[in-house]
Amino acid sequence: MTAQVIDGNALSRQLRAEVATRAAALTARGVKPGLAVILVGDNPASQVYVRNKVKACEEAGLHSVLEKYDATMTEAELLARVEALNNDPAIHGILVQLPLPAHLDDHKVIEAISPTKDVDGFHVASAGALMVGEPGFKACTPYGCMKMLESIGMGNLRGKHAVVIGRSNIVGKPMAMMLLQANATVTVCHSGTADLAFHTRQADVVVAAVGKRNVLTADMVKPGAVVIDVGMNRNDEGKLCGDVDYEGVKDVAGWITPVPGGVGPMTITMLLVSTVEAAERGLSAA
Ligand SMILES: NC(=O)C1=CN([C@@H]2O[C@H](COP(=O)(O)OP(=O)(O)OC[C@H]3O[C@@H](n4cnc5c(N)ncnc54)[C@H](OP(=O)(O)O)[C@@H]3O)[C@@H](O)[C@H]2O)C=CC1
Ligand SMILES: Nc1nc(=O)c2c([nH]1)NC[C@@H]1CN(c3ccc(C(=O)N[C@@H](CCC(=O)O)C(=O)O)cc3)C=[N+]21
Ligand SMILES: [Mg+2]
């Protein structure tokens, strides 16, 4: 058996076309949805992701502003920029690219973003809303993973067992909450898990969000399971690869997401969706 591929580029094209339609309707009413991206320092991976985000905005008819700052920027300067964007009516979404240089407190900066513009879904108000099942911005990466599950008819996971590998605040934890919201029985594994394979072998859905190659191999996967690979790593040849041993796992899984072309583009797509939604909310509140 060879797994069917969940194509994040194809699904993104579809969803971004809907975003473009909504953005055009807003623009016609005088409200062009606007996203501000703040990048501090010169992490090369961050540069690529940020460039992809800005390009995606342009293609979908969103207004985007990229603010690049030197790694020596002070926290007070950064907080002042966030506050200015909070008060800028042309900006509906604010994203501060993580990780920040070590002298800047990620948490403090994220909390300074107005929850009404927190399109990344990282603010405690957004995380709390997800936890209690209230509307709020959802973290884009797990949100994109849920859209991928929906696209294969697995939007409702009642009776299914989902295993998430990783428990970060930006991927693993919100992923687990969204799977729970979709009625899955959820297990969250991490570096302190005694027998990772024991858990993953029972899973109907596995989401790998660790940041290490080959965390999930074929022997760890139940035949027919859905495997979602969030990881972004480089192999020995410098090629982009995920956390999953794709070549091995594809012969066991029922569905699999590739890297590149899987979760990565979906993350950007959900960022666009949330930015348009932020602009629509502003309009309905006015
Ligand atoms: N495609 C996309 O759009 C995105 C991709 N990513 C990628 O996803 C990956 C994860 O990102 P992020 O969540 O930010 O990473 P973090 O480093 O914050 O979290 C990694 C998690 O993996 C756990 N872990 C580490 N080693 C193991 C192991 N051997 N077995 C089981 N669990 C382990 C850690 O456990 P512990 O908590 O105990 O330390 C931690 O919870 C990275 O490769 C990142 O680049 C991230 C965001 C978006
Ligand atoms: N505040 C904040 N929000 C984020 O959403 C955020 C962040 N910080 N920090 C870093 C991670 C990582 N991330 C990715 C986005 C797109 C791709 C992506 O487009 N990947 C392409 C390939 C990119 C390439 O060629 O390198 C793909 O998988 O096909 C990957 C990773 C968002 N993150
Ligand atoms: Mg820091």
* Span 196-225, average pLDDT: 98
User: Which pLDDT tens digit goes with each residue over 101-136?
Assistant: 999 999 999 999 999 999 999 999 999 999 999 999
Q: For residue 104, give its domain range.
A: 29-116
Residue 200 sits in the same domain as residue 88: no
List ligand 1's pocket residues with C-beta within 6 A: 141, 165-168, 170-172, 189-193, 196, 209-212, 215, 230-233, 263-264, 267
In a domain, 203, yes or no: yes
Residue 147 sits in the same domain as residue 254: yes
Mean pLDDT of the chain: 97
Dihedral sign of CA atoms 23, 24, 26, 32 in order: positive
In a domain, 270, yes or no: no
CA 103 centroid distance within chain = 25
Dihedral sign of CA atoms 98, 205, 214, 190 in order: positive
Tokens (6 digits) for 271: 């960022």
In a domain, 18, yes or no: no
Number of domains in the chain: 2
Residue 75 sits in the same domain as residue 151: no
pTM value?
0.98
CATH number at residue 102: 3.40.50.10860
- Could you give the CA distance from residue 120 to residue 106 in angstroms, rounded to a whole number? 13
Which of 267, 268, 273, 275 to mutate for ligand 2's pocket (most ligand atoms within 8 Å of CB)?
A: 267
CATH number at residue 144: 3.40.50.720
pLDDT score for 237: 94
Residue 150 sits in the same domain as residue 198: yes
Residue 81 sits in the same domain as residue 159: no
Q: Identify whether the C-beta of residue 192 lies closer than 8 Å to the C-beta of residue 214.
A: no
Beta bridge partners of 251: none
User: Which pLDDT tens digit goes with each residue over 48-105?
Assistant: 999 999 999 999 999 999 999 999 999 999 999 999 999 999 999 999 999 999 999 9
Residue 244 sits in the same domain as residue 145: yes
CA 25 centroid distance within chain = 25
